[in-house]
Amino acid sequence: MRRFLPLVFIAGTALLTSCAKDTEPVPAPLYLLDQRWVLAEIEGKAAGEQTGSTSTDLILSSVGSSNSGRAFCNQYGGQYQLAAASAGLRFSNQHATYATCSNQDLETRYLQLLPQVTRYSISNRQLALYDTEHAQPLLVFKAAK
């Protein structure tokens, strides 16, 4: 009977821990990968009016560890790396097409912020991307419908 008690304790702990999904990072690829994420905030400020296919977005492909999307003016892409069994996430420098627009400065800042990301969290269909220096997220995205 004494050998059975630790197994019951471990199983019960695992069940209780699995209920804490609202505050814990969701492990990839449950929601993170192959989902279109639309930018809602950049450094704590609203991303501005964006609609339809012109929205700044991010997609992390489950194949090949590549990311892609549309920034304020251009298509962009690069590579990402997920840390095993944690909320670690890193992006390579991003490559973009060369069109210019009125939001060019904001797009440049967005593309500079992605390689600074070190971790993520997902809560209430929002993806928050953080660096190591700030408690507030650098970028916040909402899951596209």
* 58 part of a folded domain: yes
> Could you give the number of structural domains in the chain?
1
| 52-71 per-position pLDDT tens digit | 446 899 999 999 999 999 99
Q: Buried b / exposed e across 86-111, counting CB within 10 Å, b at 16+? A: ebebebeebebeeeeeebeebbeebb
Domain range for residue 50? Answer: 26-143
Query: Which of 91, 103, 88 has its CA nearest to residue 59?
Result: 91
* 64 part of a folded domain: yes
Q: How confident is the model at residue 128 (pLDDT cuts 50, 70, 90)?
A: very high
* Residue pair 39/107 in contact by the 8 Å Cβ criterion: no
Tokens coding 61: 């492909």
* 57 part of a folded domain: yes
Considering the entire predicted model, what is its pTM? 0.77
* 10 part of a folded domain: no
CA distance 92 to 115: 5
Q: Give me the residues paired with residue 78 across strands.
A: 67
The terminus-to-terminus CA distance of the chain in angstroms comes to: 51
pLDDT: which is higher, 49 or 5: 49
pLDDT: which is higher, 40 or 103: 40
- Taking all residues of the chain, what is their mean pLDDT, rounded to a whole number? 83
* 8 part of a folded domain: no
* 125 part of a folded domain: yes
pLDDT at 117: 98
Predicted confidence (pLDDT) at residue 19 exceeds the cutoff of 90: no
Please compute Rg for the chain using Cα positions: 18
Predicted confidence (pLDDT) at residue 16 exceeds the cutoff of 60: no
Query: CATH number for the domain including 121?
Result: 2.40.128.270
* 14 part of a folded domain: no
* 33 part of a folded domain: yes
